[in-house]
């Protein structure tokens, strides 16, 4: 376990790295979908129409063991900081609309570090979900140079409202746009690429709101799946609409002649929701079983990453920042203590050395009794603890402690805890240390309801 990062050290290290940056920096497009299942793509299930996602995977590496947090906000917090969000109170659950919690201002974010590495254009196009009650929490106060989309999760796909107020913004001012939410985001990305001028690389972060609820899509898109139950049909139509946009983004890159020099990373922000398909994994969104955290993922960069290969080597959302900085020629300095590591050598197929043993801590908590979930993956081993707060006693009578071997048991059916008591004890100790990184405060357990009578700001536009 590494010590909490010091923002000042990080800032200095990234600024210092600028001078040594390689000249050929790729354009970077980071696409995150919302609640798409592990098998909700054509290349895993021919019944799902995603020809462009299939093409993306074929043009690069399919990542079969890529992990996210089990719900929306923590994945976003981790990918933008390279840190376990537990360190700053954002790993337990999602950020609710009335939450006063946001990304701490003193953390160096991915767009800030890319800015220091020479990326002048840093676009945030989509769902933010990392604080909306104060202007200081908004994306352009965390390193993005342009913002478009909603601050909250779960807006209406047609009228763009949440809790009765329109939540759509351009450069952090309310805008009224006509169109289906997902299409508007794709349109904006295409416009950015078409209008991009010169040889400067750009960074686009495209966190789609779909296929998260509310389940809404134009009827003509649902029609393709009319043989399925209505909710599943709508969910898949929402994924197919993302895919249409992906196709238009590919065309824009081709028009500009920059396909080969563009790194596209794609993954779902958590496992598929109850409308998704996570087979062959157990569980879904909100669970620390593999179906909640092992997500659909791929990376493509024709100039550097081989096409059509599969990477089973594990990685996760906290690796995104060091990976993209590595691609930008600004690898994290040895003094920088991020929790993640660069996956680029694994993706390009040129690892300099044996990668370090994989370790991933996950955390989720609901308001139900015994609602704290913690898990630790070490290589193929996974310890899962469900129960009362671990800091009240890791071995509490009502705590369920399970040990699985993912290499032999991807479906997490065979509990091996009784056969490996020493391993269980050692992994439990690590879970306790992880949870101590922030024992108190932060985002409360799921679901923290809006207080009685609470109303959002008009147009979700924070006053200050």
State the greatest distance between any 2 C-alpha atoms of the chain, in Å, as a whole number.
63
Cβ of residue 72: shortest distance to Ca ion, in angstroms? 4
Q: Determine the angle formed by the axes of helices 72-79 and 320-327, rounding to 10 degrees.
A: 40
d(CA 278, CA 411): 11
3-state secondary structure of 446: strand
DSSP per-residue letters across 117-164: TT--EEEEES---S--SSGGGSGGGTT-SEEEE-SSSS--TTT-EETT
- Cβ-based nearer residue to Ca ion, 35 or 326: 35
Going by their DSSP bridges, the two strands 66-67 and 121-125 should be labelled as unpaired
Chain-centre distance for alpha carbon 249: 20
Residues forming a β-bridge with 169: 149, 174
- Cβ-based nearer residue to Ca ion, 153 or 386: 153
CB 403 within 8 A of CB 422: no
Cβ of residue 359: shortest distance to Ca ion, in angstroms? 23
Residues forming a β-bridge with 206: 31
How many residues of this chain bind Ca ion (CB under 5 A)? 5
Q: Determine the angle formed by the axes of helices 230-256 and 51-58, rounding to 10 degrees.
A: 50
Tokens read off for 306: 């081989």
d(CA 239, CA 40): 8
- Among the listed ranges 15-23, 38-46, 64-72, 226-234, the one in contact with Ca ion (CB under 5 A) is 64-72
Q: How many CA atoms, within 13 angstroms, populate the side-chain half-sphere of residue 111?
A: 25
Q: Using CB under 5 A, pick the residue from 13, 30, 33, 34 that binds Ca ion.
A: 34
d(CA 271, CA 290): 8
- Cβ-based nearer residue to Ca ion, 292 or 314: 292
- Among the listed ranges 70-78, 170-178, 352-360, 397-405, the one in contact with Ca ion (CB under 5 A) is 70-78
Tokens read off for 32: 């995150």
- Cβ-based nearer residue to Ca ion, 36 or 300: 36
Residue 35 makes contact with Ca ion by CB under 5 A: yes
Nearest Cα residue to 315 out of 347, 288, 289, 287: 347
**Site residues (CB under 5 A) for Ca ion, limited to 261-280:** 269-270
Residues forming a β-bridge with 364: 373
CB 25 within 8 A of CB 201: yes
Residue 152 makes contact with Ca ion by CB under 5 A: no
Cβ of residue 71: shortest distance to Ca ion, in angstroms? 6
Cβ of residue 239: shortest distance to Ca ion, in angstroms? 13
Cβ of residue 339: shortest distance to Ca ion, in angstroms? 21
- Among the listed ranges 71-79, 168-176, 223-231, 326-334, the one in contact with Ca ion (CB under 5 A) is 71-79
Tokens read off for 157: 């796909």
- Among the listed ranges 69-77, 98-106, 139-147, 329-337, the one in contact with Ca ion (CB under 5 A) is 69-77
- Cβ-based nearer residue to Ca ion, 113 or 295: 295
- Cβ-based nearer residue to Ca ion, 73 or 186: 73
- Cβ-based nearer residue to Ca ion, 34 or 112: 34
**Site residues (CB under 5 A) for Ca ion, limited to 269-328:** 269-270
- Cβ-based nearer residue to Ca ion, 130 or 431: 130
Cβ of residue 270: shortest distance to Ca ion, in angstroms? 5
Distances (CA, A) of 213 to 125, 155, 275, 385: 19, 8, 10, 29
Cβ of residue 268: shortest distance to Ca ion, in angstroms? 7
- Cβ-based nearer residue to Ca ion, 80 or 403: 80
Q: Which position's Cβ is nearest Ca ion? A: 72
Please give the helix or strand (H or E) that residue 220 lies within, else none: helix 219-222
Residue 206 makes contact with Ca ion by CB under 5 A: no
- Among the listed ranges 66-74, 191-199, 201-209, 330-338, the one in contact with Ca ion (CB under 5 A) is 66-74
CB burial string 101-113: b at 16+ within 10 A, e below:
bbbbeebbbbbbb
Cβ of residue 164: shortest distance to Ca ion, in angstroms? 22
CB 269 within 8 A of CB 73: no
Q: Using CB under 5 A, pick the residue from 13, 30, 53, 72 that binds Ca ion.
A: 72
Cβ of residue 171: shortest distance to Ca ion, in angstroms? 25
- Cβ-based nearer residue to Ca ion, 35 or 62: 35
The C-alpha angle with vertex 309 and arms to 307 and 314, in degrees rounded to 5, equals: 125
- Among the listed ranges 28-36, 54-62, 304-312, 314-322, the one in contact with Ca ion (CB under 5 A) is 28-36
Chain-centre distance for alpha carbon 127: 11
x-marked contacts with Ca ion along 213-252 as a string, rule CB under 5 A: ----------------------------------------
Cβ of residue 118: shortest distance to Ca ion, in angstroms? 32
Cβ of residue 463: shortest distance to Ca ion, in angstroms? 28
What residue ranges bind Ca ion (CB under 5 A)?
Answer: 34-35, 72, 269-270
């Amino acid at each position: 376990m590494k010590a909490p990062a010091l923002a000042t050290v990080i800032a200095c290290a990234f600024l210092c790295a600028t001078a040594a940056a390689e000249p050929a920096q790729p354009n970077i497009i980071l696409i995150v979908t919302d609640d798409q299942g592990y098998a909700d793509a054509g290349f895993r299930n021919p019944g799902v129409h995603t020809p462009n996602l299939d093409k993306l995977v074929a043009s690069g590496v399919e990542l079969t063991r890529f992990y996210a947090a089990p719900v929306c906000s923590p994945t976003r917090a981790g990918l933008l900081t390279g840190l376990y969000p537990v360190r700053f109170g954002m790993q337990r659950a999602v950020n609710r609309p009335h939450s006063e919690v946001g990304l701490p201002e003193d953390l160096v974010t991915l767009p800030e570090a890319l800015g220091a590495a020479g990326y002048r254009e840093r676009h945030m196009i989509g769902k933010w979900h990392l604080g909306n009650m104060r202007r200081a929490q908004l994306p352009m106060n965390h390193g993005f140079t342009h913002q478009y989309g909603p601050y909250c999760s779960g807006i209406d796909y047609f009228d763009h409202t949440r809790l009765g107020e329109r939540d759509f913004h351009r450069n952090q001012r309310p805008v009224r746009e006509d169109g289906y939410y997902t299409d508007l985001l794709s349109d904006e990305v295409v416009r950015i690429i078409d209008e991009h001028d010169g040889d400067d690389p750009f960074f686009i972060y495209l966190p789609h709101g779909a296929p998260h609820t509310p389940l809404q899509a134009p009827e003509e898109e649902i029609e393709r799946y009319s043989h399925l139950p209505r909710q599943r049909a709508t969910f898949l139509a929402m994924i197919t609409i993302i895919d249409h946009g992906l196709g238009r983004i590919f065309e824009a890159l081709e028009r500009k002649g920059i396909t080969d020099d563009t790194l596209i990373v794609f993954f779902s922000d958590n496992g598929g929701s109850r409308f998704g398909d996570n087979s062959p994994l157990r569980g879904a969104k909100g669970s620390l079983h593999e179906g909640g955290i092992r997500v659909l993922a791929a990376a493509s960069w024709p100039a550097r990453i081989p096409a059509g290969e599969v990477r089973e080597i594990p990685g996760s959302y906290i690796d995104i920042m060091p990976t993209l900085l590595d691609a930008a020629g600004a690898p994290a300095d040895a003094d920088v203590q991020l929790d993640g590591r660069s996956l680029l050598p694994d993706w390009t197929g040129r690892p300099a050395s044996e990668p370090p043993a994989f370790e991933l801590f996950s955390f989720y908590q609901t308001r139900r009794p015994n609602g704290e979930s913690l898990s630790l993956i070490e290589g193929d081993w996974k310890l899962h603890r469900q129960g009362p707060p671990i800091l009240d006693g890791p071995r509490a009578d009502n705590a369920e402690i399970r040990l699985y071997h993912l290499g032999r048991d991807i479906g997490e059916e065979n509990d091996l805890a009784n056969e490996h008591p020493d391993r269980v004890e050692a992994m439990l100790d690590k879970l306790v240390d992880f949870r101590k990184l922030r024992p108190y405060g932060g985002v409360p357990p799921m679901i923290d309801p809006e207080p009685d009578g609470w109303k959002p700001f008009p147009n979700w536009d924070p006053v200050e």
